[in-house]
Amino acid sequence: EIIAEASLLRERALLSRGRREMAMAASAPLDRHGNRQPSAADQSGTTLRRGASGRRVKSTKIKVDCNRALVTYMPPNSPDSLGPLITPRSMKSLFDLMYLLSPVRPQKLLQKLFQNLCANPEIRKAVTIAFIALLNDEPHCALDAIQSLGGPLNSSNVFSSSLIGTVPDSIDSDSLRAKSFFGKNRSNSTATAIATNLPVSSLGSTSNEFLPPVVGRRIIVTVSFLTDKARRVSLDILSNFDNGDGDEKGRNTCLDTILSLLAKPKYSQSSSNLEELLQVIESICVPLSNIPMDSGNEIAPSKKELEAALAAGNEFVAVPHAVVSPNMLKLLCSILRLESCKDSLFVKISSIAKRLCRVKSNRQHVLEELASVAHGLGCDAIRDLRSLRIRLNNAVQAHYDQLRAHSEDGVSCATGVSMDAVSSISGAMNGTPSSAVTLSTNSTDQKLLRVLQTLHSLCAESNGENSKKSDEIPKASKELVSLLQGINLNALWSQLTSCLSIVSVLEGVTKLSEDDERKSSEQEEDDDDENRVKGGKKLQNSVAGLLTRFLPTVEVFFVVNACIIEDSESNAKKDAEKDPKDDDNSIDKLVGGKLLLEFISTNKVLLNALLRSTPGLLDKGLRAMVQIPRCRSFLDFDVKRHWFKQQVRKLRSHASRRHGSLRLQIRRQYVFEDAYRQLSLRTADEMRGRLHITFVNEEGVDAGGLSREFFGILAKEMFNPNYALFTSTEDGCTFQPNPHSSINREHLDYFRFVGRIVGKAVADGFLLDAHFTRSLYKHMLGIKPTYHDMQAIDPDYYKNLKMVLDYKLEDIGLDLTFSTVTHWFGRSQVVDLVPDGRNIPVTDEDKEKYVSLVCQHRMTSAIDKQIKAYLEGFYDLVKPGLISIFTPKELELLISGMPEIDILDLKKNTDYNGYRVTDKQIGWFWNIMFSLSKSDKAAFLQFVTGSSKVPLNGFSELQGMRGTQKFAIHKVGGVAGSLMSAHTCFNSLDLPLYDSEESMREKLLYAIKEGGGAFLFS
């Protein structure tokens, strides 16, 4: 124990030191003066602090540079005749630089000049108003803003409607193109050369008053730079230069004016121009993120922060509550319906809408406009699906006509048709290749999905929810439910269901579903579990391409219907007190719970096919299928297992980065004790690291084979009667916790260790030769066992309980009370199932309760401490929310693998190196393998792979050092008839040459029985 603890402390110290060095290397670099550069939070002026609820909240004030009265430097001995440098004429000259045919290079030089000038509030106001006026084609307003700096301008000082240095208007487009083609490199003037390479539309014209497009783009870029680097520009625009905190009822004409640009054709008809304009609006609205959704969460900067800001030349300014007119909000949201609205544009509009919603006066209008856009997109989606349904119907009908014509021709050419021919034709009728229908993608469904996701996000923010928690079912406030009802997408669901039903016919799913429903009534629960474990019904043809067209609409369906309706505070408290795993009434709490279940059950085959092709959907749009317990039963086992592996892999990679690998030094004679002593000191995160096993005094290198051997030994040792941890059932094949395990003083610590071992094996994909009772599997899944589970533990006792339930107590002569008798090493003790139960008789009316309590006592209460300790260790490695997606039968297969070893499957998935399939040596080998007993087959599998268990999907998924690695037989030289050897890390067998099949059998049996217990190099 001392050695193990010392090694652990040394390993933790090295990891801690490595993390500190990485943190120092990743910290902010030093500037040229040796000072630490400010962080991103400091640059944005945002102050973060812990609120009363423990969450990080932002200050309601933003840190900006202090205003400056002087922004220019004049030498002390300069003559007074020079006058001030900042005059209306000089500012007009700066604006004229925007009109140069050859722009100022580098571009940031002019932008930095405007940024420095904007440190003065009067100049900042004039510059901002002038830029906005020019963008709105109001040059006279821009001149008025410049003249406000002091002094009028001459009548000749007007803004040009064309670039300075442009060619005359008399040059038409054809001659300009010719000049561009023939005289591009022979021009004597740089301005002329640039002019010949610019489109005519971008040069402007003296015959109109519109701003040249090139100038407009330069102004947009400059304003974006100013709002990003000089936050006071954004604050002035939001407050409309009121020099105050702003008022919700005040005018915000500057922001409205900028938003009105969205209606101009040069922005609405050009995605690049529209993206640049939205970038400016998004930058302007950044300060609104500091406004809390709840006024009670407002915090002010501390005195220390105020003093530090003042010393650095900064100050804290309140964020104005900018109110936008409803017409401008409608214009902003209407962009979402444009064909030119790309993904990047949607992200910007969504960000702008979220920030504007921080102001209460804007929020309701934004939500209503988004709902209106969603309604319009929904109508468009309905029309698209209706036309698509017609095309699908035509494709099905055309294919059926071809099949009928083919069958009629076959009948007319022969006197009769065989049963095989009839079955083949009917099979073809039930499955039409999906390639027969070609579908084009449509962006309407995708836009509708994004709008609804934005609505969810805005309503969640208003309720103070953390939208980043993806492992919880999303909640819908009453406000959101009202909006969804107003959108009314019921017609869309009908069209989607109709289209998917036709797809089911195309893929032959309809007949499969009918057969499944007919057989399900004849099968018991265990048989149903086995069918689900096998993967359920799978499609005959590749349906992923056809279903991808409907994926956005399916996601829309889940977004709308798979969210919980929020109740009042009292109901919320009652729900919090209930068991979260009890979902009998959870479906009724969903927005469209019954509709959701009906949709999933009807299209479960198609949905599983979609999830196989795109597994990431269970973390995104279709995550409700794993979050809602009633929906998990419709998932096939292979889909669940793939999702489970992905989640566990994320946890393991995170733990490996923090703690590194999990290295154990194990003595082969004391595997259980050494593993217990070393792992009991490890935390759950440390246990998730990659396992590396080293057996003392052995030369084996763990690349997967030693770990499998390690788990195989532990699977046997945990059931060792000397530890008194588990007892076998009547059949001797399954085990449950021993109610008398307390004879071992450390039994609870051992149970926790066993739970960790099982959890580690499940998380890392190792199979254990360990089979527990169905009741223990249910405890692991958080399911309450029933009296039916007693049948596997004690069949005779179960028969007696069935007799109690099936017959009257008087007829069978039983006098029972609500108590049971337990035995403790020869001593009998009466245990009450209810208070004073030994004096309460059991009647025919309450005998079901008696049977339930008796079974609960034997499967739960009597071993409650052992189960809790075991589950504590298991949940350290596997979270309850992850493992709960499986059924008890699926969990057993996940832990123990397939029960039978299929040699034919192994033969199909075998590679040969040096041998050929037709060689007699290979023929002898497989004859021997088919003739082995079940125990010898398991021993052989243990010998060559390190584990006696078969992977869940057969030997095609046999794992090795390089991932999936098939079993391989290598031809080796040397002395003929020598012993064969194995490499468990590579799943390979070195097979020498033998004289006869009997000689090979003798060497094979000797190798698997005597050579499977150690890893040595000779």
Residues annotated as catalytic (active site), given as ranges: 985
Q: What is the DSSP letter of 914?
A: S
For residues 975 and 1003, give the distance between their C-alpha atoms in angstroms, rounded to a whole number. 13
**Do 739 and 753 form a contact (C-beta atoms < 8 A)?**
no
List, in sequence order, the alpha helices (H) in 807-902.
809-812, 847-859, 864-877, 880-883, 888-896
From the list 999, 957, 790, 754, the residue with the least C-alpha distance to 869 is: 754
From the list 700, 638, 703, 711, the residue with the least C-alpha distance to 672 is: 711
**Integer angstrom CA distances of residue 188 from 175, 176, 496, 783:** 18, 16, 66, 86
For residues 13 and 583, give the distance between their C-alpha atoms in angstroms, rounded to a whole number. 46
From the list 501, 483, 246, the residue with the least C-alpha distance to 367 is: 483
Element (H, E) at 990: strand 988-991
Q: Exposed, middle or buried: residue 223 (CB in 10 Å: 0-12, 13-18, 19+)?
A: buried
**Do 605 and 611 form a contact (C-beta atoms < 8 A)?**
no
For residues 685 and 183, give the distance between their C-alpha atoms in angstroms, rounded to a whole number. 71
From the list 463, 512, 44, the residue with the least C-alpha distance to 287 is: 44
Both tokens of 467, joined, read 């939208």
Amino acid identity of residue 444, one-letter, is T
For residues 836 and 829, give the distance between their C-alpha atoms in angstroms, rounded to a whole number. 14
Residue 968, helix vs strand vs coil: strand
**Do 434 and 539 form a contact (C-beta atoms < 8 A)?**
no
* Cα atoms in the 13 Å half-sphere on the side-chain side of 852: 7
For residues 454 and 450, give the distance between their C-alpha atoms in angstroms, rounded to a whole number. 6
Buried b (16+ CB within 10 A) or exposed e, 667-691: ebeebbebbbebbbebeeebbbbeb
Both tokens of 464, joined, read 């103070």
From the list 622, 621, 654, 664, the residue with the least C-alpha distance to 640 is: 622
Element (H, E) at 512: helix 509-520
Within 8 A by CB and 6+ apart from 35, the residues are none
**Integer angstrom CA distances of residue 49 from 63, 298, 300, 304, 357:** 14, 11, 10, 13, 22
Q: What is the DSSP letter of 263?
A: G
List, in sequence order, the alpha helices (H) in 741-883.
747-764, 774-781, 790-793, 795-806, 809-812, 847-859, 864-877, 880-883
Biggest distance spanned by C-alpha atoms of the chain: 125
Q: How far, rounded to the nearest angstrom, does the alpha carbon of residue 405 sit from its chain's CA centroid? A: 49
Strand partners, 983: 988
Query: What count of other Cβ atoms lies within 10 Å of the Cβ of residue 137?
Result: 14
Both tokens of 909, joined, read 């998935």
Buried b (16+ CB within 10 A) or exposed e, 985-1015: bbbbbbbbbbeeeeebbebbeebbeeebeeb
